Amino acid sequence: MSNSVNKPIYNNDIRSLFENEGFELVVSMDCEGTNYDKNLENNVLNLERFLKLATNNNITCILFITPYFADMLSKLNLIDKIKENYKVIFGLHIHPDNLPEDIASKCSFIRPDEEYLASYSYEEQKQIVNLCMKYLDNKGIEPIQIYRGGCFSMNEDTSKILAELTDIKYESHNPYREQYTPLKGLLNPMPVYALSRNEELRLEFFTTEKLQNMIAEAYDKGAKTIAITHSYMLDSNDFHYERDGIIDDIHIRLEKILETIQEKTTVPKIAN
């Protein structure tokens, strides 16, 4: 549990999202562990840069946190600072093939190459979810208000377990993905803004110009818009940029998206 004694500046209650009419933007980030992030510490060290840009422009970030990412936040003494100073909502993110030993040792059924939580039985999922929730809580990462499965993996059992074991009332996925088969009506969906399985508002996908066009179209439709990105893109020098030929880091791409929104509104100049 957190030892913080400072009151957060912002009301980071998920129920306050999307209360207004018309277009609204929230940015979500899958905060990955060592399976996808070979540069974990440097990426986490760049998290505040991203959160500051979003918060200064009245954008809430939903951080979907894995246990390994929680470890690094704790090591760098960032948890209370994030809770107290930024517009951030914490969510649970699970890749069952990338769990710390404290969790994996209690789950003898774990298959090393199985990355979908929904591939496990009800009882197995229940044990994984329970251990991951306790792990994050012990690091002071609370309240956990929303769930996103690794690789968007969620089935009816996952829905039932989250409703039974946790206070989570919301989930966020790309509804076009075949790995996403929840029990409808149990948790409130807050879907990633997506036009198809592979066309979603993901900051490291496509060109910056296409992302700006997508946000402009969402604005014109008055859509409640959840963008997605990944923590392994936070360090502008991370190898993913060169490997995947990505021009503009996610900080620049977020700035460009905000500029596009400004062009359609009377919002003041972007605060850096």
**Contact status, residue 239 vs residue 38, Cβ threshold 8 Å:** yes
d(CA 219, CA 48): 27
The amino acid present at 12, given as its one-letter code, is N
d(CA 22, CA 45): 34
Q: Which CATH class is domain 14-263?
A: alpha beta
Beta-carbon count within 10 A of 106 CB: 13
d(CA 243, CA 233): 12
d(CA 76, CA 41): 8
**Contact status, residue 145 vs residue 90, Cβ threshold 8 Å:** yes
d(CA 147, CA 165): 13
Q: Residue for token digits 């913080």?
A: 4
Per-state percent for the chain, helix, strand, coil, to nearest 5: 40, 15, 45
Q: pLDDT by residue for the chain (272 residues), tens digit each?
A: 544 557 778 999 999 999 999 999 999 999 999 999 999 999 999 999 999 999 999 999 999 999 999 999 999 999 999 999 999 999 999 999 999 999 999 999 999 999 999 999 999 999 999 999 999 999 999 999 999 999 999 999 999 999 999 999 999 999 999 999 999 999 999 999 999 999 999 999 999 999 999 999 999 999 999 999 999 999 999 999 999 999 999 999 999 999 999 998 865 556 66
**Contact residues for 98 (Cβ-Cβ < 8 A; gap 6+):** 32, 33, 34, 35, 66, 68
d(CA 219, CA 142): 32
How buried is residue 21: exposed, middle or buried, by Cβ count under 10 Å (0-12/13-18/19+)?
exposed
d(CA 83, CA 188): 24
Reduced to 3 states (helix: H, G, I; strand: E, B; else coil), residue 68 is helix
- Stated pTM of the model: 0.95
